[in-house]
Amino acid sequence: MEAGSDDIQALIGLLARLPGLGPRSARRIVLQLIRKRGGQMAQLATLIERVAMNSRECLSCGNITDRDICAICTDPARANGEICVVQDVADLWALERGGAFRGRYHVLGGTLSALDEIGPEDLRIPELIDRITRDSMTEVILALNATVEGQTTAHYIADALDQTAVTITGLAQGVPIGGELDYLDDGTISAALRARRRI
């Protein structure tokens, strides 16, 4: 038997399924929210509602935005010729925190996987090829995880762009073998980006 109201149990259950949380951390969070409920809970509920209402994928790059086209895609100060391809929005955020890249992005939304039956069409890869061709991009930076899946995906994209004039680069050393971008410190990511090499 578990104490607390049905709502509290339902809230713990929902939180426990979020990434990085489990039943124990979910219980701790709910108890702290109840203790400090004055401002914190109302603010949290309001923000979650507003984010749910307003957030969607940028129609051009796949970044999370509250408009059709995101602020990065519409920023006139950013370089049009360079496009940085990432697996997830979390990786885009990590690169932006580093501040070393001033071009455009393309978020794949995952990696190719024969096992999970994830093909190029599931990953916004056709949209990427379209953008590169249509916007006459000069450089594509494949900033994908240094995992087998990430590198398989990078090679697939490089092959698909083989007949175009675009220069294809990848992040330089600095990304450890098997490492995931979002786990690295911002300086390491920036250094790897600056030392990027032709694939």
The residues of the shown chain that bind Zn ion, judged by CB under 5 A, are: 58, 60-61, 63, 70, 73
Selection from its own copies, Zn ion, none that 73 binds (CB < 5 to 8 A by kind) is Zn ion
**Taking contact as CB under 8 A, which single stretch among the options 4-12, 139-147, 151-159, 166-174 is the one that binds its own copies?**
4-12
State the residue for tokens 């990027």.
196
From 60, 72, 125, 189, residue interacting with its own copies (rule: CB under 8 A)? 72
Nearer to Zn ion, 39 or 76 (CB): 76
CB 133 within 8 A of CB 164: yes
Bridge partners (DSSP) listed for residue 64 = 57
Nearest distance, CB of residue 140 and Zn ion, angstroms: 16
- The tally of CA atoms less than 13 A away on the side-chain side of residue 106 is 24
Q: Where are the beta strands (DSSP E) in the chain?
A: 56-57, 64-65, 82-86, 104-107, 139-142, 167-170, 197-198
Burial of 116 (0-12, 13-18, 19+ CB in 10 A): exposed
Q: Which residues of 53-73 are buried (b: 16+ CB within 10 A; e: fewer)?
A: eeeebbebbbbbbeeeebebb
**Taking contact as CB under 8 A, which single stretch among the options 5-13, 77-85, 146-154, 169-177 is the one that binds its own copies?**
5-13
> Residue 195, interface with its own copies (CB under 8 A)?
no
Q: How far apart are CA 188 and CA 194, in angstroms?
A: 10
Nearer to Zn ion, 63 or 111 (CB): 63
Nearest distance, CB of residue 128 and its own copies, angstroms: 18
Nearest distance, CB of residue 73 and Zn ion, angstroms: 3
> Residue 77, interface with its own copies (CB under 8 A)?
no
Strand, coil or helix: what is 180? coil
Nearer to its own copies, 46 or 173 (CB): 46
Contacting residues toward its own copies, per CB under 8 A? 1-5, 7-8, 10-11, 14-15, 18-21, 24-25, 27-34, 37, 40-52, 54-55, 63-66, 70-72, 88-90, 92-93, 96-97, 99, 182-183
